[in-house]
Chains A and B, each alone.
Chain A
Amino acid sequence: MSDVQEATNQLLDVNLCENQMSIQVTESGPRSESEHLQVTIGATVPTGFEQTAADEVREKLGSSCKISKDRGKIYFDISVDSLAQVHCLRSVDNLFVVVQEFKDYHFKETKEEVLKDFEDLAGKLPWSDPLKIWKINTSFKKKKTKRRKINPNSSKQKIDNGRGDTTVEKDVKEFTNSVSDSQILDSYENPAIKEEVSTLIGDDLTSCKDETEENSKEEADPEVLKFRVTCNRAGEKHCFSSNEAARDFGGAVQDYFKWKADMTNFDVEVLLNIHDNEIVVGIALTEESLHRRNITHFGPTTLRSTLAYGMLRLCAPQPTDIIVDPMCGTGAIPIEGATEWSNCYHIAGDNNPLAVNRAANNISSLLTKIQVKEGKLSLGLPIDTIQWDICNLPLRTGSVDIIVTDMPFGKRMGSKKRNWNLYPACLREMSRVCRPGTGRAVLLTQDKKCFAKALSGMGHLWRKVHTVWVNIGGLHAAVYLLKRTPQSFFHPSEQDGERCPW
């Protein structure tokens, strides 16, 4: 085991006790060692889908995950040359590199003492390896930012205090064409990025010339990095606010590095995550702009792709499964499906012509990009789009293996009253087209009461297997995994009405 790795492992196990505030600082080893640099990555994922994300990490990176008690976060170790592949993970919203984790931090009695401890902490943390990772990662982001439109207004919500006593809310991500394109591009571009990693390892960390392209033109001294601290605090017994912690910790960080504090145009985002007695200090590897915007009930309803991915994974698609989203909107779910599960066949349908056109456009622009990238013989995308009515699907009975959809919540789309009739009709029609015995459905809705009532009359057709509680833009929603019973579907006139489950 290299010195660096050993030190990192030790640090992860450090339990901070009251009197022992000094931490080992890991100096970077000789240049040749940095190729074997092991690093702990933290990832934020949609709450409820931590296990799904952990499964994906195991599958794609071969690493096992620790699922944090702080909901919506998982941690795993990788070697630095896998960093590019980490960005390929589809179930992850944001990534950060862990500087240090304190599993059982001892907070002192008074606010003054606690804040003083945070100030002292800044200069004692093992920053150098995480900063190396951050630098390598920044070179990936430069490629991406050319395509992705970063909304400058989103920075307004990025203030350095946390969210108070509650855990951080996860918000719906706006699925505009440009964002979807750049997201989906990631999975195709990364083989090229991986090559860059090996050439960058060993670069002088203090050379900041590359970063100046992104900095504002006002920056006089190109060597000085700009930073900010984001603190998220959750817990009943803290005597300080996240605002105060961020301010004092940030002040000490500034003194230590001589960086410049900048809330909006920063290079380095330092994360201070406090959950009861657990503290994690990290450096962000992704921008949070689109994910942490607080959405009111009239925000966009398009599902973010990490949630779409989690929902698809939940139904364990098998090769050649026919997967249908009968209320696809802009097509977030089927498009995610067609890219990640290309050995299945996907159908996107909606009654709204605007939605159908947008979904079709998203698909064709994605296809064009693939064709440009891969040459003339494209893989094609196994997906088609249809305009239809969910209550009268033009699909053969029992022809669909998986139905996965985001049902109207009744808040922005439709209404609660309309759901009362819509939900039973949907479930009935979905049970008709779904293959008896092996078919399954994964349905997201916030209208849990209506859903439960609609489902209660259909025990002979659907069996609820699993529920994942999620948070969509502040709304408490649920993802239901249903299995289609072996019973064949009969037309309502032939059936003896809908009886309660056996």
Chain B
Amino acid sequence: MRPLTHNLLSSHVRGATEVRINPVEFNPDFIARMIPKVEWVLLLEAADTLHLVEVPKEPIQGYEHNEEFLRKMHHVLLEVEVLEGTLQCPESGRLFPISRGIPSMLLSDEETET
């Protein structure tokens, strides 16, 4: 599971016991356009929990043309893969495992009824 995927989830990463870095070809246009869709608070949380490089508190002014910034974001969003870890739902506190890169987020029948 990549941090970009994590950013779309309503649950947040609580811990990771196995993380892999995969080099991925840098596409500045893709990253620049993706920035507005990123939920920055979640990203900061993930970067912190996963001990990733320093992520600025918010997108830099003129980030579209700032290659250093874009490269950093590219690394943080796409090149990190959480293979084993845990996600937590902020509302219910329920924990979900991540195993072999795949989060398992099924709720039990009881949980879905509430």
Contact = CB atoms under 8 A, between A and B. Distances in A.
A359 to B, nearest CB: 9
Interface string B71-114: 00000001000000000010000001000111111110000100
B73 to A, nearest CB: 13
Contacts, number: 82
A385 B102 contact: yes
Contacts of A388: 103, 105-106
A122 B8 CA distance: 61
A449 interface: no
B22 A322 contact: no
A395 interface: yes
A319 interface: yes
A351 B106 CA distance: 7
Given A320-B33, A392-B112, A396-B39, A386 B103 contact: yes
B29 A319 contact: yes
Nearest to B99: A387
Contacts of A322: 8, 37
A237 B105 CA distance: 58
Contacts of B22: 378, 380
B60 interface: no
Nearest to B106: A389
Interface centre among A376, A378, A384 (most CB of B within 10 A): A384
A225 interface: no
Contacts of A387: 102-106
A400 B8 contact: yes
Given A384-B1, A388-B106, A394 B9 contact: yes
A351 B109 CA distance: 13
Nearest to B78: A380
Contacts of B96: 394
A378 B27 CA distance: 12
Interface residues of A, number: 30
B49 interface: no
Nearest to B107: A392
Interface centre among B9, B23, B96, B100 (most CB of A within 10 A): B9
Interface string A293-330: 00000000000000000000000000110100000000
A343 B78 CA distance: 13
A347 interface: yes
A353 B103 CA distance: 11
A403 interface: no
Nearest to B102: A385
Contacts of A399: 8, 37
Contacts of B58: none
B102 A386 contact: yes
A391 interface: yes
A382 B2 CA distance: 10
B25 interface: yes
A396 B11 CA distance: 9
A25 interface: no
B59 to A, nearest CB: 15
B65 to A, nearest CB: 17
A341 to B, nearest CB: 12
A177 B102 CA distance: 20
Nearest to A322: B8
B9 A395 contact: yes
A239 interface: no
B9 A378 contact: no
A377 B74 CA distance: 14
A376 B2 contact: no
A426 to B, nearest CB: 14
12 contacts: A343-B27, A343-B29, A345-B4, A345-B34, A384-B101, A386-B102, A386-B103, A387-B104, A387-B106, A389-B112, A392-B107, A394-B105
